[in-house]
Each structure stands twice: as C-alpha cells, then as structure tokens.
Structure 1
Amino acid sequence: MEHRFLGASGLRVPVLSFGTGTFGGEGDFFKAWGQTDVAGARRLLDIALEAGVNLFDSADIYSKGAAESILGEAIKGRPRDSLLISTKATFRFGDGENEVGSSRHHLIRSIDAALKRLGTDYIDLFQLHGFDARTPIEETLSTLDDLVRAGKLRYLGVSNFSGWHLMKSLAIAERHGWSRYVAHQAYYSLIGRDYEWELMPLGLDQGVGAVVWSPLGWGRLTGKIRRGQPLPDNSRLHVTADMGPPVQDEYVYRVVDALDEIAAETGKTVPQIALNWLLQRPTVATVVIGARNEEQLKQNLGAVGWNLTPEQVARLDAASATAKAYPYWHQAGFGERNPSPV
C-alpha cells in the first residue's frame, strides 16, 4: 500500500482509507448506506489491515454515534499505535441550543464523547465536518489548539469548507501560532470536479492534503448505472439521491461510457478505474472507500498497485469536463498566469 504525507504535515497515511459510514445503519439515510455490526466491522478491518489500510474515518453523526462505537469495538485488542483514527464533528448532535457547531462548548463535549465511543484517549485526525459561520474562527481554532496540546488530538483538518473559509482559518492560525489544518475532507470524483477550481490550488499553495469522500460520485460510478437501464433495486440512490451532490443523468452516462471503454482495455472494474484516476490527482493524500460487504471492500482495494496511462487519464478528463463557474472560466483563458493545477 502506497503512503503519502498528509498535506504539509509529517504524518504518512495510506492512499486508501476506510470510511465507517456503513457501520450501524441507524435511520433511513444511514440504513441505505449499510448496516454493518461489530462482527462485520471486525472482519472488514481485518481485510483492510491485511491490505495495508490502517486509517479509519468516522463522524459523530454517522448513525447517531453508532458508527464510532462499532469502530471502537472493532479496534479493541489491536495495537493502537498501528492504527490511525479519524473522526469529525460540527453538525447537530442533539436537540439542545449548544449541541451544534464549532463553539468551544460543543467541540469539547463532542470530542470527549467521541473518545469515549471510540475507546481511545486520542484521535489521530480530527476534522470539522462543516464551516460554522456563527462561531468566531478564533474561538474554534484556539479550542482545537488546546485539545492538540492536551494530547487528545494529533492533527487537524476540515471538511466541506469553501476556499475563503479555509484560507481565512489558516491565516488566523498562523497569526496566533495555533495548530493549522493539514487536511480537507472534500467531495471529489469523476462526476464532481468542482474541487479542482479553487480548493486544489489552495491545497497546493498551503500544504493542505485532500481526504476524498464519496469518490464514486454518491454511488453513481459503481458500474451498475448505465444508459437505458433502470436503477438497480439495491442501489442506495433510491433513498439518498436527493441528499447528495446533484448531477445530470446524461453526464453520468458519458463518464461511465469512458470508464467502460478503459475497463475493457485494462481488465479492471469501473470503480477501480474511477478510484485510480483520483489517486493521480494533485493534493490527494487519501481516498476514503466504504463497503457494505467484503466483496465491495476487496474490489475497491484493487484500485492500487497499478496506474492508468496518461492517455487513459486524458480520455477520462475529457469525458468528465464541465463548464466552470465564474471567475474560473475566465482564469482558465489566461493559463500563462493562472496555470491549471492538473
């Protein structure tokens, strides 16, 4: 398993990491993702660790905390220093006035609760799950820095930030000498390339590594969705399509057509090609893969150990290209001064 530095930090992470959104199955949304119990989680971790995947990502809102609890049970008895545990908080986790956001009050409570559910005394990578515009950035960053100094957190990241959210946070951290964000868990896929417009150049400039979520485009690049065919009965899109990133059907079909052609050439599967394409993009430190069963996990693990050719990458780039929003389309016309990050 290839390892890369996480942004400008000294932490090395595997290029594939395992996401625990399929653990628990609490509520209709997460039930559609998966319903892995403790026994199933232990088996999936065995397979992942055998392949060299030792970074496991969770969040407090995944199945109302059940995903973290199941992950905590699944890692019991394993050497803690051989594992990298990542989790997230910010979104609402309860009905109270202060049970949401990135305030000092909510972050301290959330992290203490996550440590208890995970059965560990530190988190290797903690990420804000989203930007909280109602809490001063100084309050959030000083709190996180305190928790790093206390030994509860080792590295910091964010998720789903805009470019100015992230850049302002980095500037404030530098001004005060606080721990800085080294990771951005962001949506990025062959059918969701907005990350390249601003967040990728920012990541290159500031040393923020991408931790990619939903690399198969919210389940649309599994190889089961094709032009002229009905949505498979077991697709989670029946439940979650309206909750995920929007994408036009014809755009999906165009990209899948290109994936099918390259799958025939390489003998690899559509998901493996989609994942391998991501692993060749700038700033990508690790791609979070999920699996409802052992077969899915083993197939996703087959995305490493080989590379698409430059010509194949170019064909996928062309098939997935879309019109950029302003000012990115304007900047793209002046490549001499605004070179593309890819």
Structure 2
Amino acid sequence: MLNIAVVGLGAWGLRHVQSASASGRFKVVKGVDKAQVKVDFPVTDSLQEVLDDPDIHAVSIATPHTLHADQIRQAALAGKHILTEKPFAMSHAEALANVAITRAQNVVLALGHDHRFYPAVAALRALIAKDAFGQVTTVQSVLSHDFTKKALEKLNREAAERGENGDTGSWWRLNLAEAPVGPMVHLGIHHLDLFIHLFGEIEWVLASTPARTIETPFPDTMLVTLGFTSGKIGTINSSLASPLNSRLLISGSEGWAEAVGPDDIGSYTKSSLSMVKRRLNGTDPETEHFPLIDSVAANFVAFADAIEGVAPYPVPAADMIHNAAVLEAIVQSSRSGTIERVQS
C-alpha cells in the first residue's frame, strides 16, 4: 500500500480521495487545503509539510490549473510521485518543463485523463487497430455539462437573498487565467486527449465561439475543428451551458461507430461514454453496452503499477506534451479567429 497526500480538497479533490482509496493501492494519509474540510485524515495548509514527510510516497494534485506546474516541480524535487489533474500545463513550454523535471528526478508523472480507461474507449481502439472502419475520415465529439450555468444561478440567487450583486470572482473556475478557453479546459480537453489517443498527432486547429448564453469571462461554448497529421478531420463541440451530453462519432469508408454517455449525472461521473452503436462493413447496426467503472480509480491503479514497476504508465509523456500544445493553439485560435499550427 502506497501512502498518498491529496493536494486540493474541493469537489474533485474529494473524488481523488474516494477513488485513490477505492483503487486498493493507496492510503490517503494527509490532505492539503486552506479551508477546513471534514475528512478522516489530517489536513494541513502547507504543501511543504507534505513534501518533507518521508512516509508519503506520492501526491495527487487537484488544485486550480495555474498552480499545477509549480506544484509538480516542487513535488518532483521532493522525490514524490505525482498524479495531477488536467490540464497539467497551460502551454507547450510548461509541459516540456514538467516532463523534464519529473524525468530528472525519476518520479512517475500521471495525468487525470481517465477517459482512456473506459471499456467503451478500449473497444473503439480495438476496432481502429483492426481497420474495422476502413479509412477513417472524420471524428466528431460533443461534451457538454451545465454545472457552471447552475452554479452561477445558485451564486446569483444567494447574493440576491443577501441583497448583494452576484459575485463570481471568488470562484476559480470562472477565472479567465484558469480557463482561457472555458469549456475546452474544463471539459473538452478530455475528448482532445481521446483524439490523440485514438488517432495520433494534431497539426492545426480552428476555434469558433458562438454568442454567450451565460455571464462568463470566457466563451461558454466552443466548436474546435482539428486537422490531424494523418489527414483526418475532427471536431469537438464543448459547452458549459448546455445540459449533459457526451458522445464520440468515428466515421470511415467501411462504417461508423458512436460512443454515447449516460443521461444521469451519477453514472456520468463514473464513465461518460458507456454505450457503442456501430455499423461496419455493410452489416446491420449493433449496440453494445459497457460496464460503468470508476475510471478515476482505474487511473490510480495504473499510477500505482508505474510506481511499483509493474507496468509503464499508459499515458505517454509525448501525449501529455502534445495535448498541452494543442490546447495552447486553441487558445491562440480563439483570439485570432484563424487556423493556428500546433507546436511540435
């Protein structure tokens, strides 16, 4: 059993606590947070206190995005293995630095792209590996969730009850620096990772933003077109205002397959893609349902396997770096309104 500290005990940090424990490979022995949080382990407001503790083998980072790079650096220098939430870097250069420091310190770097662990995604990857689609031409995804819209409504309602104007400035998820392309940072980045996982490197992007429907400092909805080096074209439609919707459609010369997520939030938080409908090689459409797993716990298992030398961590560092580079290009395109090339 590996001892781990969870840095950041907000809603998703508490999910790290739950899933790390559920993995059966980690014991959560300490938390780091400035707020008082009711948990069954000690909590400190000092990251350094955790890093100085020789009995702590690893940290998981679930803090605001702009803190990740410095916390990764500090943890690596302290010899702690690291699982960090996405995005693990806000730029290509920052991603290169994060990977370099963890390699230099010989610590495992894992990333919260837990969608790779879905059984539905493994099934799609197997179909691609045996050329079941023929020549894949396009991949399209939708990932929306109106939690931001609902949270804003709650904040404004509570402020009105106090006789105040709505104040969302204290919520880090609405900070432009933390989410310069809003839904693509909070949600769409997961499908961006799946695009890279399934189809390889992306060469260029074009980000389009419709009119806003909620008061956010960034676009609440974004449509991103992506060109792969292989010639495929992809689109990611991600929204913080539209109700829950998760789907991924792969089209090719010999057929198509669409992975779809659950309709209820409880199931969605386990696996946001759980059913695959496919029509391949002239056959009638078929539908397959996959089990809902704790994909975050599966990620912690893979993290533990890498620490203990059982198997390499399954998200290659090159993919982590490329994801950050594509995200940076999306930010640039959202500002320029033109196609932007991805750094390599």
| The structure with more helix, counted as a fraction of residues | 1
TM-score normalised by structure 2 residue count:
0.30
TM-score, L = length of structure 1 = 0.31
In terms of fraction of residues, the more strand-rich structure is 2
